[in-house]
Amino acid sequence: MVFSNGSIWMSLAPSFNARTTSMLTSLITGDSPLSPEISERSICSSSSSFFSSSEVYGDPDDAHIPTPETYQGNVSITGPRACYDESKRFGETLCLTYWRIFELPVKIVRPFNVYGPGIRPDDYRVLPNFIEHALRGKPLPIHGDGSNTRSFCYINDAVEAIFKVLFSGVDGEPFNVGNPEPEISVKELAHLVAQAMPTRVEVAHIDPPHVVYAKSDPKRRCPDISKLRVVTGFTPRYDLITGLKRTIEWFRQRHTESERG
C-alpha cells in the first residue's frame, strides 16, 4: 500500500495448513526491496513500514513476558512454524540491511494478535474460530488444556499504531504493535466468547488437529509496547470486552446476510 508520503510492505502468508513452500516464497520474494516496484516507491517515499509479526520472537520464556523489541527470540529454525517465523525474520534483516547501506527509510511493525470486524472467519485463528463455532451452535474447541496465553489488539488500535509508526521520524527500528492488557488464556477467552453469546454455548477440549498447534504453539504471547508509547504517544483505546462485542456483532450480521442469500 502506498500513500502520499509513505508506504507499507505487506506479504500476507496463507494459513499454516496451506503449503509451507508457498508461505516461504510469498514471504521472502514478496518482501524483497529488490523488487523494482517496491524499490521505486520506497525511494520516492519519506517513510516505509514492513509488516512483520510477533512470531519473530518464537516462544519467549517467562522472563521476557511482556516481550520487548530487544528480545532476540527463542525460535526453532527446523520446526513446523519455521517457514513463517524465519521468513519474517529474513524480511526484517533484508529491510534493515537496505536501511543501513542505502538509507532506505523503513520501520518494522510486529503485530500481536490483531482482531476485529473483517477478519477472515476461516483462517483458523483462535478468536474467529471460537465465534464461528458459537454462531453455528457448536462447542468452542480448545486445543489441549487451554493454558496458552495471548494478548489481543483490536483492529482500530492496530491501524492507528501502524500509521503512527509509519509517520514517525524513527527509521531502522522495530516496533511492537498490540495491547498488553489483558494477557488471557485460551480457556478464559473461550468462556468470554460463550458469555457474550445470546444462547448457551458449550466449551470442549480437543486434541490439536495439526502439528503446528500440537507441538510448537507459543505458550505465552504479550507485547511490551513501551517503545511504541514513548516514540509515537500511542495508547490502546479498545479493551477486549468492547472489541469482542463489536467483532461478534460483525460476525452475526455476516451470518444473517448469508442466510438471507
Q: Which residues are catalytic?
A: 84
Alpha helices in 107-154 (DSSP H): 126-135
Residue whose cell numbers read 513500514: 49
Q: Are 181 and 151 in contact (CB under 8 A)?
A: yes
Alpha helices in 103-232 (DSSP H): 126-135, 155-166, 186-196, 211-215, 226-232
Whole-number Å distance between alpha carbons of 189 and 192: 5
What is the number of alpha carbons within 13 Å of residue 136 lying toward its C-beta? 12
Whole-number Å distance between alpha carbons of 222 and 203: 24
Q: Are 251 and 131 in contact (CB under 8 A)?
A: yes
Residues 6+ apart with CB under 8 A from 84: 13, 16, 23, 27, 53, 55
Helix 82-102 to helix 20-31 angle, to the nearest 10 degrees? 10
Residue whose cell numbers read 509517520: 167
Q: Are 54 and 112 in contact (CB under 8 A)?
A: yes
Closest to 197 in 3D by CA, of 126, 153, 120, 251: 251
Whole-number Å distance between alpha carbons of 82 and 88: 10
